[in-house]
Amino acid sequence: MKYHSDCGLEDMRAMRYHISMIRLWHVSKQYAGLTAVDNVDLTINDDCIFGIIGKSGAGKSTLLRIMSLLEPPGSGELYYGAERVDTLKGKELLLKRRQMGMIFQNFNLFSSRNVSGNIAYPLEIAGLSKKEIRARVEELLYLVQITDKSKSRLRELSGGQKQRVAIARALAVNPRVLFCDEATSALDPQTTRSILALIRDIQEKLQITVILVTHQMEVIRAVCRQVAVMDCGRVVESGSVESVFNSPKTDAAKNLVVG
Ligand SMILES: Nc1ncnc2c1ncn2[C@@H]1O[C@H](COP(=O)(O)OP(=O)(O)OP(=O)(O)O)[C@@H](O)[C@H]1O
Ligand SMILES: [Mg+2]
């Protein structure tokens, strides 16, 4: 199958500068009577690693899906910089979504493709030439330090290596924001540290915003500057990592600190 788009890599590079910050205003989301996200107001500054923490079922993934335009909010408003984006539809929505990179706990890679084939996928969708794709895939393999695995099948990789492939694929079209949903939760402590070091390195090098959802406090402590604590769909506390974890005000934050 051949994919086409009116939007090449250069357009994407230019577009990324249009997002300066993510802002949610009174955002809620219900599923069949259950309130998954409840009236969230949140501002995430550009060019930082922002953590969202909370126990299972708190609404973290739902909020992330809304912020990354995978799902519309039930009510409320979402802004990238000055632009309201929750009302986008059709092609505009698709193009905006492509400025977002996303990685998950279970990697979500294509087992039918090898490492390079996985990383190439979004570039094929964007309609780049074979030559451009080859050059970009090589750059990305180098960035995530798996150059020697370019032709490997996924079953030949460790969890940490798979997450590196997923990160490379997410970064392929130069997103302005990288969303990470429990990206290290399936990894052992040492591999977790190496993936977090890579995320921090990439954030600094590419000056992108990273939004990192986790239920592990040590992940937030290791890489985030700012954090929001979610409980029962609400953001109950937010601020610098030191202030929230050194003097938690809410029971939800206190429970996370004492473990
Ligand atoms: N697509 C959906 N349909 C119905 N209910 C949903 C859907 N997605 C999430 N929920 C519900 O919304 C609530 C919040 O779920 P969410 O996945 O956002 O929590 P979470 O904080 O990411 O949890 P975890 O740490 O376990 O991943 C849960 O009660 C969940 O069952
Ligand atoms: Mg989740």
Beta carbon of 56 within 6 Å of any ligand 1 atom? yes
Residue 131, pLDDT above cutoff 90: yes
The atom number, within ligand 1, closest to the CA of 37 reads 14
Q: pLDDT band at residue 47, thresholds of 50, 70 and 90?
A: confident
| CATH numbers and ranges of domains, the chain | 9-258 (3.40.50.300)
- Give distance in angstroms: CA of 23 to centre of ligand 1: 21
pLDDT for position 12: 52
Residue 188, pLDDT above cutoff 70: yes
Q: pLDDT band at residue 20, thresholds of 50, 70 and 90?
A: low
- Give distance in angstroms: CA of 55 to centre of ligand 2: 9
pLDDT for position 257: 82
pTM: 0.91
Mutation test residue for ligand 1: of 31, 232, 236, 256, the one with most atoms within 8 Å of CB: 31
CA–CA dist 254, 246 (Å, integer):
9
Instruction: Write down the mean pLDDT value for the chain.
Output: 91
Q: DSSP letters of 180-202?
A: EESTTTTS-HHHHHHHHHHHHHH
Burial zone of 243 (CB within 10 Å; 0-12 exposed, 13-18 middle, 19+ buried): middle
**Percent of all residues in the chain with a pLDDT value above 90, rounded to a whole number:** 86
pLDDT for position 111: 95
Residue having the nearest C-alpha atom to atom 24 of ligand 1: 56
pLDDT tens digits, 74-125: 999 999 999 999 999 999 999 899 889 999 999 999 999 999 999 999 999 9
In terms of Cα–Cα distance, which of 212, 202, 173 is closest to 94? 173
pLDDT for position 9: 57
In this structure, how many other beta carbons lie within 10 angstroms of the beta carbon of residue 61? 20
pLDDT for position 253: 92
Beta carbon of 58 within 6 Å of any ligand 1 atom? yes
| Mean per-residue pLDDT, 217-226 | 94
Residue 1, pLDDT above cutoff 60: no
- Give distance in angstroms: CA of 72 to centre of ligand 2: 17
Residue 194, pLDDT above cutoff 60: yes
* Closest ligand by atom to 230 CA: 1
- Give distance in angstroms: CA of 124 to centre of ligand 1: 32
**Percent of all residues in the chain with a pLDDT value above 70, rounded to a whole number:** 92
Residue having the nearest C-alpha atom to atom 11 of ligand 1: 36
Q: Which residue has the tokens 């094929």?
A: 124
**Residue-level length of the chain:** 259
